[in-house]
Amino acid sequence: MEAAAAAAGAGSARGSRGGIRVLKRNMKRNGSRNFLNRRSRFGSREREWLKEDVGRGCVYIYGADSATSTSSDLHLVLCTVDTLASEICDGEGRENLYLQLHGDLVRRLEPTEKPLQIVYEYLAGLGFEDLVRIQEEAANSDLSCMIRFYNEKPCQVEQLDRILLSGVYSVRKGKTQLHKWAERLVILCGTCLIVSSVKDCHTGKMHILPLVGGKVEEVKRRQHSLAFSSAGAQAQTYHVCFEMLSEYQRWHRQASTVVSQRLSTVDLSCYSLEEVPEHLFYSQDITYLNLRHNFMRLDGSGGLDSLCRFSQLKGLNLSHNMLGELPILLCEISTLTELNISCNGVLHLPSQIGNLFNLQTLCLDGNFLTSLPEELGNLQQLCSLGLSFNNFSEVPVVCEKLTALDKLAMAGNQLETLNLGVLNRMSHIRYVDLRLNHLRRLSVDSLEGNKSVTHMDLRDNQLTDLDLSFLGCLEQLHCERNQLRELTLSGFSLRALYANTNCLMTINVYPVPSLLTCLEISRNQLLCIPDWACEAKKLEVLDMSYNLLTELPSSKLSKLEQLEELNLSGNKLKTIPTTIANCKQLHTLIAHSNEISIFPEILHLPRIQFVDLSCNELTEIMIPEVLPATLQELDLTGNTNLVLEHKTLDIFSHISTLKIDAKPSLTADSALSSMLWNHGLAEMAGQRNKLCVSALALGSFADSVEAVYGMFDGDKNEELPRLLQCTMADVLLEEVQQSNIDSVFMCNTFLVSHRKLGMAGQKLGSSAVLCCIRHDATDLAGSFTLTLANVGTCEAILCRSGKPLPLSKVFSLEQYPEEARRVKEQKAIITEDNKVNGVTCCTRMLGCTYLHPWILPKPHVYSIPLTVEDEMLLLGNKALWEHLSYTEAVMAVRHLHDPLAAAKKVCTLAQSYGCQDNVGAMVVCLNIGEDSCTCEVHGLPLPGPRGGISTAKPATPSSSSGTASEFSSELSASEVSSEVGSTASDEHSGAGLDAGLVPQPERRCSLHPVPPSSIFQRQPSCATFSSNQSDNGLDSDDEQPVEGVMINGSKVEVEVDIHCCQGKSLEPVPPEAEEGSAASSEDDSGGLFFRIWRQNSMTSNILLAGTKERCELQKSPSTCCLYGKKLSNGSIVPLEESLNLIEVATEVPKKKTGYFAAPAQLEPEDRFVVPPDLEEEMKEQIKQHHESGAEQKPREKAAVAPPDEFDTAL
């Protein structure tokens, strides 16, 4: 809203006159004075005009037939946020402009309303914040699925048929053929068939035929004819002949609906009506009129003030009509017994409402009422009064006079303190609904007991202590999701207590509740089962899950003989006492996630059906010879020490569902993949016939080392999750290119995806969670960052050092009080099952645009840098997290290295806890550490995942195993040498490495800071060279093994170091720097260095690139660059071009095994050797370069550094 207001201010500041001038200049060209007529595209001139001011924009105006709108029906109107609807209407040549939201209702705009300002406020309400982006979105034609303007009121044929059918047809009165056929005007409206006495006459005498309870039949003797008959002994009949089959079918369908009614009911809801049809007043037998979800006006021939013309009207529904006040003339309809004016923004009620003496039901929910008139007390027959979701701060005093009222419905108001003495004065109240208020305490004026209240609902308040002991007749209490520490009740009449999700440590009930049948006190801090609960002989359901129980006394359990369901999961129980055998009626036992080591004696119970003992410490099972025939499901998963013998499994064979842990597969605990991340996905439909969960998994996103993972849950629809799965990655890619700010591009991704759902997103919705792993290009020293965004109930957690780290927020009314408060302030109706308008428990979703502004698509966005301590990322839908805690999920799969197996195990575990809905889980194993090195030195990307130099953006790190510049350890000698030879001989025309690189500043990741320029950092590696020329890995001319070569069959292990240097003339390395480099080789990977042991037996005692001569090798031009061309004797002579050995070597495809055989070496020159006759020359060159380098070093420090380049030394 602030963004829209800022846009309005900007438009006003710049002035609308300048915009009008531009418009006139453009409009004159299009033949119109005030707008661009019949344009569906932007020209360069229009775009320039829009860029001058964010307060400028455009609105699309459609023709009346929205279903068949073409470019000729679409007008593009350039305007400002100050342009009035009347100005656009003048340009269109129309009287009115209409607005449609979410493809639903259509209302007429007032002349003073501003269309572009409406669009801007709508987009700001969705979550867009940037003014320029709001301007761009407003110009997008796809927005028409959410907000659309019409120059005429659109009406679909089906809606018109339900409101009114009319036409001139051949009509004959009576069942006999004495009457002749004549053309008459026939109208079907409301509950009556209206036939004019004169052709084409809308006035004068009209024949009315009531159809409720009558008949409509096909006339077989005449084609396309229907016989309409009224009910009663003196029934009349009219025969109507239609010219076309389509007309016949329309009339037959609508008339059949009317005659099938028992009561005279007319439903005109959701038709965007401003007044009722005039012909409806002919139906004087109407008793119930539904005008919900319209835009009814007070005045006019068919306005609300004229509804008093219905003489028998008993029920009237005017909810959601934006009335603002209750029409006084409605208070003159004395026959009314039911009146619904909810969700109309009513601020106060007129005193004339006291004239409705017959009123029995009055619904005032979803308004802004703060008080009620005293005259309301005259309604002595009023038995139902809805005051929920208003602004009451106390119980209205007038309710004490309404003696017929039995329920006080004040949920969603602003009560902070409840004086229970008021309830004593209202002895007629039995049901009290005070959900979703701000109650902090309850006060009592006197000790007098209350004997009338039987049901009380105090859910979702802020109570800390609750004493209702004076309510002696209380039968049922709901007090979930408060902050209760102590609860005191009277047990005389108590039958059900629901106190889940509090902080209860003590529950006092006196006397013993002998009528108690249901006790649900899960997710509290109770240390034991209350003594009074075990004395409740009629207790059938006991839920004490997720408390602090450590033991279950056998004496307490033995008294619960009528117990049918027992839930003890999530505690610290070690045993279940043997006295559970006394619970002969028990059919369900849930005790998962405890420390139970001894199987309870429950298989002797005659009615046992479901047993869940998963995630315990069971070691063996003592079973009877004959199991009860009623046993249907037994869950023993998660008991790692439990071993079932074949005999036991045979006994369990008749059970329909037996859940046990599968034997671990050979690959389940295999070594971690060398990739940075890999994922596994599991989706299970449960007991539903369709899967409404979809997932998005892109391990390589945007052709770089980035990843995107997402999960979408459509609850009961499968269309939206599939659409999001197909489109959201593309939207994210577009948004990332527009902004590097994580909160911006992730938020806009959700908002744009919300728009792209189109018509499918008008009535359907989906929860979504999206995770993006990327490198921040603006942070040169940063590593990978995980950015998450979510709406709805899909969640994601990060396992860091073995502990779960929640990343998302659950946007539901129960788990997000701030969202529930926002929805209440916007006057949504929250039903007793905690759903917005009875549709969904989510407050933020993609789709469900018809529930705007209560349901929003703006996501929660959270970013966190990934570290070496991050083990896995776990995504799941609502059903998964409802049955599984974060800690349980992490501990269950942390030891599994196979993400697919981990995802399946999580889903199976949720199902073992009773999940019967769609469940989906995605596990992403993270290998973030040294493998996530993103170093780029002087603009040269180090080897990528496949060995070649990466061509991705500079911000993208390598996904190869090891450091980014590590030389592959799985290269054969022949592969390296053949690649070197072919590349050197085929690329004479290029400039080598020097010509292909653009100098860029050196960039290092946080794991590898920039080292001093005079120090080389080395990363040792081990490459395995193989040969098929001889068994010992030598050339055929060699007679003895080479010193220093480790022989392993036909494989020769060669120690390899690779280092990267700057410039064409490499600087010498001081010995102290070299020693420091060697010391830090385990931690740093800034550069790599080759160390090759000689293979020639004649010079086996000479070590090239040894410790003594390493500086010289680094300085040598012949060794820093491969200028070589192979000769027949295997030697290498200098060439004019350079070749990067790292690039060549790492282009060789990696093999899965540690050792592999190289391709056949047919020629001896394929071996990479240095002939003896070149050794002396090489040493001389090294020495000369060392001396010249020492002289040039002082001069190079003072000179301007040339563009940095890379060469790789061998």
What are the φ and ψ backbone dihedral angles of 1012, each rounded to 5 degrees?
-60, 150
Nearest Cα neighbor of 498 from 453, 541, 451 is 541
Cβ–Cβ < 8 Å for 1095, 1034:
yes
Q: What confidence score (pLDDT) does residue 549 get?
A: 94
DSSP strand E in 197-261: where?
Answer: 206-210, 215-218, 225-229, 237-241
Cβ–Cβ < 8 Å for 969, 1152:
no
CA–CA dist 208, 191 (Å, integer): 10
Distances (CA, A) of 658 to 612, 655, 662: 10, 6, 12
Distances (CA, A) of 6 to 54, 130, 751: 9, 10, 20
Q: What confidence score (pLDDT) does residue 639 get?
A: 87
CA angle (578 as vertex; 575, 582 as ends), nearest 5 = 135
124, pLDDT greater than 50: yes
Q: What confidence score (pLDDT) does residue 903 get?
A: 93
- State how beta strands 98-101 and 1019-1026 pair: unpaired
pLDDT tens-digit series, residues 71-113: 457 788 899 999 999 999 888 788 899 999 998 889 999 999 9
Averaged pLDDT, 369-396? 94
Average pLDDT of the chain is 76
Q: What confidence score (pLDDT) does residue 1200 get?
A: 44
CA–CA dist 1169, 1161 (Å, integer): 14
Query: Poorest-confidence range of 561-565, 582-586, 610-614, 686-690?
Result: 686-690
pLDDT tens-digit series, residues 556-591: 888 899 999 999 999 999 999 999 999 999 999 999
704, pLDDT greater than 50: yes
Query: Poorest-confidence range of 222-226, 294-298, 485-489, 1140-1144?
Result: 1140-1144
pLDDT tens-digit series, residues 152-202: 888 776 677 778 898 999 999 887 766 788 888 999 999 999 998 776 565
Averaged pLDDT, 230-255? 89
CA–CA dist 500, 502 (Å, integer): 6
Q: What confidence score (pLDDT) does residue 935 get?
A: 53
pLDDT tens-digit series, residues 515-543: 999 999 999 999 999 999 999 999 999 99
Strand-pairing partners, residue 228, are 216, 238
Tokens found for residue 563? 């117990």
Q: What confidence score (pLDDT) does residue 154 get?
A: 84
Cα-based torsion angle of the residue sequence 1177, 1179, 1184, 1190 in order, rounded to the nearest 10 degrees? 160
Give the residue carrying structure tokens 């790599």: 1088
> Residue 451 has what DSSP assignment?
S
Band of the pLDDT at 676, cuts 50, 70, 90?
confident
381, pLDDT greater than 90: yes
Band of the pLDDT at 206, cuts 50, 70, 90?
confident
Cα 831 from chain centre? 23
CA–CA dist 215, 212 (Å, integer): 8
CA angle (461 as vertex; 457, 464 as ends), nearest 5 = 105
968, pLDDT greater than 80: no
What is the three-state SS of 15-64? Answer: CHHHHHHHHHHHHHHCCCCCCCCCCCCCCHHHHHHHHCCCCEEEEEEECC
Cα 480 from chain centre? 26
**CA atoms in the 13 A half-sphere facing the CB of 1094:** 17
Share of the chain above pLDDT 90, in %: 45
CA–CA dist 301, 474 (Å, integer): 52
Averaged pLDDT, 1008-1021? 39
Share of the chain above pLDDT 70, in %: 71
Instruction: Say what the pTM is.
Output: 0.72
Cα(first)–Cα(last) distance of the chain, in Å? 64
Q: What confidence score (pLDDT) does residue 1189 get?
A: 61
Nearest Cα neighbor of 1061 from 947, 898, 1206, 897 is 1206
If one compares 976 and 824, the residue with the highest pLDDT of the two is: 824
Nearest Cα neighbor of 1157 from 999, 996, 1049 is 1049
Distances (CA, A) of 331 to 268, 346, 357, 403: 21, 15, 10, 21
Q: What confidence score (pLDDT) does residue 996 get?
A: 39
| Contacts for 1073 with CB less than 8 Å, ≥ 6 apart | 1012, 1014, 1015, 1016
Q: What confidence score (pLDDT) does residue 65 get?
A: 67
Q: What confidence score (pLDDT) does residue 654 get?
A: 79
Single-letter code of the amino acid located at 665: S
Cβ–Cβ < 8 Å for 122, 57:
no
Strand-pairing partners, residue 59, are 77
Where helices occur in 236-381 by DSSP H, the ranges are 245-259
CA–CA dist 451, 449 (Å, integer): 6
